[in-house]
């Protein structure tokens, strides 16, 4: 009995330490995310100042590269903080009846100049009729942003991005398509994939699912309600 009680005590102490260590890790990520924003802002400011100077072609390419890397780090920091908040239940969640067609159209309009600048062929095929889902509009926009960012980073060789509203049996789905190397293929922008982890957590909380079809000819993701 004494040995059994001692074992229970050790298990409880182990769980307490794990919870404490997990809390410290999450706090560290939150602190780092906050502290890194200031130097990134400074670097961005100096890059802007350099851009105003008379630079040769190599100098302009260097400044463009600095801007790209700063943007990437800023997104990574934002994803780290968002992931920490989501896993601790502290990310503000406000579901409401939302016209998903209107929301997708607005997000596509925001991303169109970005894809155009990168010389993507863009196919945004959205109906006029409204479709209503019970979601958090900001969360759903964040999901689309992460998927679009992934297309830019991982499917840039295909130079194609499409978004459609489709009927999948009794369900309406938002389909996002690219012509990259697929999720098992290699890309120059491969990273830790924390953006997709955030997407997965948000979809689960909003009772949405994402069905992925991926191969060497590209990837199609269909987001819909339920399983």
Q: Which residue has the higher pLDDT, 49 or 76?
A: 49
pTM over 0.85? The answer is no
HSE, side-chain direction, 13 A CA sphere, residue 7 = 4
Question: For position 191, what pLDDT does the model report?
Answer: 47
Q: How far is it, in rounded angstroms, from Cα 141 to Cα 143?
A: 5
pLDDT at 188 over 70: no
**For residue range 40-71, what is the model confidence (pLDDT) as tens digits?**
888 888 888 888 888 888 888 888 888 888 88
pLDDT at 121 over 70: yes
Arithmetic mean of pLDDT, 148-159: 90
Question: For position 170, what pLDDT does the model report?
Answer: 76
- CA torsion, ordered 107, 150, 197, 165, to nearest 10 deg: 40
Structure tokens at 213: 């079809």
- Longest Cα–Cα distance of the chain, Å, equals 81
Q: Which residue has the higher pLDDT, 154 or 95?
A: 95
Q: How far is it, in rounded angstroms, from Cα 130 to Cα 1?
A: 66
């Amino acid at each position: 009995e004494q040995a059994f009680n001692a074992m229970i005590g050790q298990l409880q102490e182990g769980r307490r330490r794990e919870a404490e260590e997990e809390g410290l890790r999450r706090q560290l990520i939150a602190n780092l995310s906050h502290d890194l924003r200031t130097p990134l802002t400074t670097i961005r400011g100096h890059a802007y100042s350099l851009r105003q100077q008379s630079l040769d072609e190599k100098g302009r390419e260097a400044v463009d590269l600095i801007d790209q890397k700063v943007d990437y780090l800023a997104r990574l920091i934002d994803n780290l903080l968002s992931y920490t908040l989501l896993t601790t239940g502290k990310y503000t969640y406000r579901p409401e009846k939302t016209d998903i067609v209107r929301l997708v159209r607005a997000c596509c309009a925001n991303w169109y100049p970005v894809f155009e600048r990168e010389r993507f062929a863009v196919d945004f095929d959205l109906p006029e009729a409204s479709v209503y889902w019970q979601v958090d509009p900001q969360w759903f926009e964040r999901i689309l942003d992460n998927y679009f960012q992934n297309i830019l980073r991982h499917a840039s060789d295909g130079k194609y991005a499409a978004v459609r509203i489709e009927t999948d049996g009794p369900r309406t789905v938002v389909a996002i398509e690219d012509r990259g190397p697929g999720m098992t293929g290699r890309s120059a922008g491969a990273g830790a994939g924390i953006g997709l982890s955030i997407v997965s957590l948000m979809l689960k909380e909003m009772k949405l699912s994402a069905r992925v079809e991926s191969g060497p000819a590209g990837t199609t993701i269909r987001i819909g309600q339920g399983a």
